[in-house]
A and B are shown apart, each in its own frame.
Chain A
C-alpha cells in the first residue's frame, strides 16, 4: 500500500502529469500543499499577486499547448486569480488552478478567508471541483487534466479544503495520468459536402481562428489554402498560423484588421470558418458580415454552430484530422480572377509602409521584430500597443503570439511573458506593453528579475489609456475624461528598483544601436519608449458598425 497525505498526493499526481513549474502564492489554506511542494522536484515560481500566477500559467500553456498549473490560497488568493481564469476561459487555454479552502467542517461558516470559489469560478471555468474527501483526489486531479486538454481546451479549478490536504490516505496504485481524448475528424458526409462547396465557390475565404492553434493544425491549414488557392484571414487569436508575408495571407480581419481584408470578406461567396467563433470584434455588425457568403464551419465545439451565424455546412470534429481529410479530398484549384480582385482591393486600400522612426509605434514594432528574430515569442498587454503589434508584427509561426483576445485583460502581458520564458527558456521573449496596462501587474517585475528570465519589456508610453482616449475622441465628441495618465511614474526608476536593466529610448534620441544592444543583452531588459500621444489605431470599425465601413484616419490627418 502507498501512504500519502492529500497534499503529497496532489503534488505527486501533478508530477506524474509532467508538471515541472507551478506559479503561485502560499497562504494559510494551502500551506500543506506548499510544504509538500518544497520536497518535490517541481520548480515553484513565486508570483507577487495571484492574478500574476494565473497569467504565468497561461503563458506556459499558450506556448506549450499543454495544461499548466497555478496555486492560490483561499479567500482573496482565490478571488485574485479569477480574472486570469476568465481570460483563459474566453481564449480556451488549458490552465489548472488549485486553490486552498478552509477545512470542510468550516465551509459555510463565514470562516477567515472563506469564499465560495466553487460558485464564483463556475461561469469562468470549463469545469470545477470542490474536493470533499482525500480519496477523491485520485480521480479529480487526472480528470482535471483530461477535461482541460480534451476537445475545446479550457481552465479547470480544483478547490481543496485544508483538512483534506492534511489527511492521510492508503491506496494500492497510482491512477493513470489524465490525457486529452483522441482527436476525431468530422463525419465523412459533411466533409464531402464541404469539398463540393469549396470547389464550386468563386470567391471563397478561409477564416482561421484560435482553434487552429489549439489543434496544432497550422501547417495543414496552410497546405489546404495553397492546394485550393484560398485567400486566408486570421483572427487575433490565430495570428502566426500562416506567415503574414505568405501570398495567400490577408492578415487579420475585424475591428482593426486591414481594410482590404474586410472588403474581401464582404465580397466572398463562401466563408470557411475553422476554429473561429464569429466574435463581434472580428465580424463587426453581424448582419453585414460576409452577406453573400455560405458558411462552412469546422469546430470541435458543436455549440458554436449557429450561435451567431448560421452554418450551411457544420463540420463537428477536431480541426487537425478534419482539415487533413479535406486536404486529401480537395482538388488543386487556381482562382486567378478572385485573387486578382483581391489584389485590386489591396491597391485601393494599401497596407501602411513601415520606416525606421523608433518614436513611431508601428515602425518600432517592425524594428524590434527585425532585431529579435523570427523565433521570438511575442506577448502584449491590452490597448493600442496590442493592436499595433497585431497589425505590424511579421508573425511567422503558431504559438509565437500571446495576447488576451476574448477578455482583453490589461495586466496580461508581463506575467504571461514570464510564463512564456519559463516554458521556453532558450527563446527570446518580447513583451509590448502600455503605460496603462503595465501598472495593472507591475509587481511581477520582481518575479521576472528573481527568476532571471530573458524578457524584453517594451513600454510604449503615450501618457494615456490610449484606446479609451481614441474612442472618446472619435465617438464622444472629444470629451477626454478619466483617460489621462500624464501624471505617470518614472517607469525606468521603478524597473531598476525591481532589479531590471533599463533603457529610455527618448534619452538616447531613439537611437537604433541602443535598442539593438538592449534587445541583445541577456536577462530582463526594460525599454521605455515615449510615443506621440496623438497616435491612433487605424483602420477602425466603430463598435457596432459594419466591417466594410472602416475609419481610415484620413479625416484626422493620418492615412
Chain B
C-alpha cells in the first residue's frame, strides 16, 4: 500500500480467540457492520485443539476502538480480545498473497 506509513499510525491489530463453529464469523463480522465500525483485514484459522479458532482483525485506531473491543467481548463465542500495536507482523506476512 502506497501510504502505508500514514495508515499504520491509524490502525490497530486485534487478536480474538473464538469458538470454532459455523456462525462465529457472522457474529464477529455482523458486529462490525451493525456498529458502523470499519474492519479492513480479516484472517481466521482453527487452532490445534479444533474447538477454538483465532481471528486477526486489522481495524482503524480511533476513539471508538475500545467501544468495539468491549462489544466483541460481549459475544458469547468470543473468549478473548487482545489489542496489538499496528506494527504487528501478522498482516505484513500475508501481504505477498495480496497483489494484483
> Could you tell me if B23 and A130 are in contact, using CB atoms closer than 8 angstroms?
yes
Given contacts A306-B66, A306-B67, contact A122 B27 (CB under 8 A): yes
Q: Which of A119, A130, A147, A307 touches B67 (beta carbons < 8 Å)?
A: A307
> Could you tell me if A119 and B26 are in contact, using CB atoms closer than 8 angstroms?
yes
| B-chain residues with CB within 8 Å of residue A119 when the two chains form the complex | 26
| Interface flags, A288-311, vs B, CB<8A=1, else 0 | 000000000000011101110000
A4 at the interface (CB under 8 A from B): no
> Could you tell me if B23 and A303 are in contact, using CB atoms closer than 8 angstroms?
no
Bound together, the chains give a CA A120 to CA B75 distance in angstroms of: 16
Bound together, the chains give a CA A147 to CA B74 distance in angstroms of: 11
Bound together, the chains give a CA A123 to CA B22 distance in angstroms of: 16
* Nearest-CB residue, chain B, relative to A303: B70
* Nearest-CB residue, chain B, relative to A146: B76
| B-chain residues with CB within 8 Å of residue A338 when the two chains form the complex | none
Bound together, the chains give a CA A307 to CA B67 distance in angstroms of: 6
* Nearest-CB residue, chain A, relative to B75: A127
B51 at the interface (CB under 8 A from A): no
Number of chain B residues whose Cβ lies closer than 8 Å to a Cβ of chain A: 14
* Nearest-CB residue, chain B, relative to A124: B34
Looking at the assembled complex, report how far the CB atom of B9 sits from the nearest CB atom of chain A, in whole angstroms.
22
Bound together, the chains give a CA A130 to CA B66 distance in angstroms of: 30
Given contacts A118-B23, A130-B23, A147-B76, contact A123 B70 (CB under 8 A): no
| B-chain residues with CB within 8 Å of residue A306 when the two chains form the complex | 66-67
| A-chain residues with CB within 8 Å of residue B27 when the two chains form the complex | 122
> Could you tell me if B70 and A302 are in contact, using CB atoms closer than 8 angstroms?
yes
| Interface flags, A60-79, vs B, CB<8A=1, else 0 | 00000000000000000000
| A-chain residues with CB within 8 Å of residue B38 when the two chains form the complex | none
B30 at the interface (CB under 8 A from A): yes
What is the total of A-B residue contacts with beta carbons within 8 Å?
A: 28
Bound together, the chains give a CA A465 to CA B74 distance in angstroms of: 38
Looking at the assembled complex, report how far the CB atom of A406 sits from the nearest CB atom of chain B, in whole angstroms.
15
> Could you tell me if A123 and B34 are in contact, using CB atoms closer than 8 angstroms?
yes
Bound together, the chains give a CA A118 to CA B24 distance in angstroms of: 11
| A-chain residues with CB within 8 Å of residue B76 when the two chains form the complex | 126-127, 147
Bound together, the chains give a CA A123 to CA B31 distance in angstroms of: 7
Given contacts A302-B70, A303-B67, contact A123 B30 (CB under 8 A): yes
Looking at the assembled complex, report how far the CB atom of A280 sits from the nearest CB atom of chain B, in whole angstroms.
15
B71 at the interface (CB under 8 A from A): yes
| A-chain residues with CB within 8 Å of residue B67 when the two chains form the complex | 303, 306-307
| Interface flags, B62-100, vs A, CB<8A=1, else 0 | 000011001101111000000000000000000000000
Bound together, the chains give a CA A126 to CA B74 distance in angstroms of: 9
| A-chain residues with CB within 8 Å of residue B22 when the two chains form the complex | 130
* Nearest-CB residue, chain A, relative to B72: A303
* Nearest-CB residue, chain A, relative to B21: A132
Looking at the assembled complex, report how far the CB atom of A128 sits from the nearest CB atom of chain B, in whole angstroms.
8
> Could you tell me if A303 and B30 are in contact, using CB atoms closer than 8 angstroms?
no
* Nearest-CB residue, chain A, relative to B27: A122
> Could you tell me if B71 and A122 are in contact, using CB atoms closer than 8 angstroms?
no
Looking at the assembled complex, report how far the CB atom of B64 sits from the nearest CB atom of chain A, in whole angstroms.
9
Bound together, the chains give a CA A303 to CA B23 distance in angstroms of: 22
| A-chain residues with CB within 8 Å of residue B30 when the two chains form the complex | 122-123
* Nearest-CB residue, chain A, relative to B31: A123
| B-chain residues with CB within 8 Å of residue A303 when the two chains form the complex | 67, 70-71, 73-74
Across the A-B interface, the 8 shortest Cβ-Cβ residue pairs: A303-B70, A127-B76, A123-B34, A302-B70, A303-B71, A122-B30, A123-B30, A307-B67
Cross-chain pairs A/B with CB under 8 angstroms, 23 sampled: A118-B23, A118-B26, A119-B26, A122-B23, A122-B26, A122-B27, A122-B30, A123-B30, A123-B34, A126-B76, A127-B75, A127-B76, A130-B22, A130-B23, A147-B76, A302-B70, A303-B70, A303-B71, A303-B73, A305-B70, A306-B66, A306-B67, A307-B67
